[in-house]
Chain A
């Protein structure tokens, strides 16, 4: 075991000021002292990385195992299998009966859950801190000894099929996004969404599942994050006891790269809806790319802030849209930024798109204002202070940054980058990424119109 236990300081006592760019506007930047969050970390010889964040407010512990595998590791034939595997992990092992994970955690006064994303799958238990070993044993057992009973597997496929009906097929926004995404990505597995296609869900075999599990569920492809009322040394000792003898495994990935998009793509989608929707998917780089910070600021200034260009002009001034929003996926692979606009009518869809493009052009031509930049920085500072209330969330962030980029402290650099961000950086991001040839446009219209 590599006993390189380090005590790191996630945030030193920093005195941050946000006002340098606001000299000519109102100064909202009095210094704010931000306390520190400490974490401890170590790595087992087999590659399993462990992060511990102490929080003794209540006698509880949050235990998480994050696997570096998700929907972008799937071929189209087995689309959604990462998510199906997440469900299968609750069917048990020889020692843990079906759904025993839920029963045992409930018995001690806790709960268990799991989640699948494009580039990770996560399992978590929250328990009385005296029961940390139970969580450790559950995750260690099912990391290596998963039992896949064909009958139970088939029943669970039906549950996942129902989940797809409920969350995607009966949701006009999600089902439209799925179609736009499959148009935007041709080769890369982002061609499908996390839940996968219905045909795939119903066609997985037990062998498919066994192969996938064996390929990706290994200590060197996982990160453990523990937060709460625990002693880090005790966590490390238990990790060694339960995972120490597990062998690392070579993990191979699909290695599929999406060809560079060179022209705008368009798709018209008919849905049972009364209001139309324009969805625009722009290609962006991986989540640790230096341009991501500027892209997020751009997102706020162009679309998401109450005073954004889109809200001010398209919604409040021109009354062209009812609502707008934007979000991006910051994955280990290049992914996308999604902008949605809800026009007032089907007839005005082209006008809305043109007006949106005009706002991007205006931003590129005229730059952004000092107030816009100050608002972004103020929001980031506030969010940073409020995030300190959630130490469990901080531990998760360390795990995600490690899984994706082997860089737990990425958040720290991102914040520093944001503090130094200039209007020109944001303008450049717009020039580079928000261009028609890098986007796929979806018009979602009421059926028959």
Chain B
């Protein structure tokens, strides 16, 4: 008995301090990590939708939580309107529009924005232009006035026109030395050929086309691409919808309707590009930058949601996905590796990206293909556990992106007005991915992905890259920069 007491005493004295509070163990963590999240439902706020006589569609959402107003919006068409002779003109157009107007010089416009704390910007996507703005609620009248002036009264033969053009050339010249811009140019040029979807990445093409961005051509393009009957705006903020409607009618009622035709030519990836490997030789590159991909479905693909979830297993970019697990966690090659896809109205693409040290380029290329093959061959199919974690992750975090009413209404507008879907699309998607099985994910992955179609662009020093591929019997085409 005495011996037993001594043993207990000794144990008590030698218990490491780490065990004095909580005893950490793998079991403890597994217990703490048991969780099945509730299937969320996103609350679509009450909104009013109305259409002005000129076709402008407006959504209003009252939100009295803070004294501010925000606006988001879209103009249908976007970059797809461009023709090759004016490739890239959409970005220049929006830059000119937001710099000054017929009523306000560049300086006057900037001063107006700063004095009233107004922000308003325009952007360009493949299928639409974007509008974003905000102000304190006390300045909402000024925000509307600013937006109306920018959208309705552009000035292209302005004193800053030449300077803007010069800045564009300088920016393009700079892009020609930047790895991401060069990789994108070669990748999208080969993927989309002459389709407008390739234009915004093609530095050479835009450099040549910019000489055609004359004030007259800009005005013509504006008339072809920007009109109230193509525009949708959504406002959320601390206002009364009734009064706001009147203010909007006053601000935008005189904007004239125009006969705009939406682009409709579908993109087609040239089939002879499948399987090709291009190496961009950049003598100063210290790493190998990868972009591999192929054409994929358009936005109206019925199993878009299921594909998105299945692809997360392969290349979400988080540490657990197959690409990161092999390229970073196991091999230590990459800081980041992911697969994404972009589905647009007229075409879409699937893309894998990563960056590694040059010596690991061939193995990286083979790993990207190999990991996809493991799923496709069912050597390592998508598991129930992988699917559960992905779905559980979405269920927990998705509501976070719909806390603000402006974010919810933006998603409604995109679904309804741009893609022609239901206003409740977000909740329909939640139901769809929660009804998936691992077999569904596997099937949709197999149906859409094929590593033989990978068009590969790698930027780096050719002396370090080419021999690796030649030794492996993989033909490459070198592009000098």
Contact = CB atoms under 8 A, between A and B. Distances in A.
A96 interface: yes
A110 B319 contact: no
A60 interface: yes
Interface stretch (B27-35, B260-268, B339-347): B27-35
Nearest to B285: A170
Interface string A144-173: 110000000001101101110110011010
Interface string A375-392: 100110110011011000
Interface stretch (B248-256, B394-402, B438-446): B394-402
Given A108-B396, A109-B37, A245-B20, A386 B114 contact: no
Given A159-B334, A307-B111, 10 more contacts: A28-B117, A109-B35, A128-B37, A165-B355, A170-B355, A172-B178, A242-B22, A247-B17, A307-B107, A316-B106
A109 B393 contact: yes
Given A133-B32, A134-B29, A162-B356, A107 B177 contact: no
A108 B357 contact: no
B400 A60 contact: yes
12 contacts: A96-B29, A107-B33, A109-B37, A131-B35, A159-B328, A159-B335, A162-B333, A165-B286, A307-B110, A316-B160, A375-B114, A379-B117
B396 A60 contact: yes
Most buried by B among A33, A97, A272: A272
A142 to B, nearest CB: 10
Interface residues of B, number: 75
B45 interface: no
Contact of A95 (B29, B139, B179): B29
B20 A388 contact: no
B284 A272 contact: yes
A248 interface: no
Contact of B115 (A28, A246, A385): A28
A131 B66 contact: no
Nearest to B284: A272
Interface in A367-426: 371, 374-375, 378-379, 381-382, 385-386, 388-389
Contacts of A90: 319
Contacts of A242: 21-22
B432 interface: no
Contacts, number: 217
Given A98-B329, A170-B287, A389 B355 contact: no
Nearest to A376: B114
Contact of B332 (A97, A111, A155): A155
A112 to B, nearest CB: 9
B444 to A, nearest CB: 21
B367 to A, nearest CB: 15
A138 interface: yes
B68 interface: yes
Contacts of A246: 21
A241 interface: yes
Nearest to B119: A382
A127 interface: yes
Specify which of A94, A306, A323, A374 lies most central, judged by the most chain B CB atoms within 10 Å of its CB.
A306
Contact of B35 (A98, A107, A169, A170): A107
B318 A382 contact: no
A140 B28 CA distance: 13
A390 B160 CA distance: 37
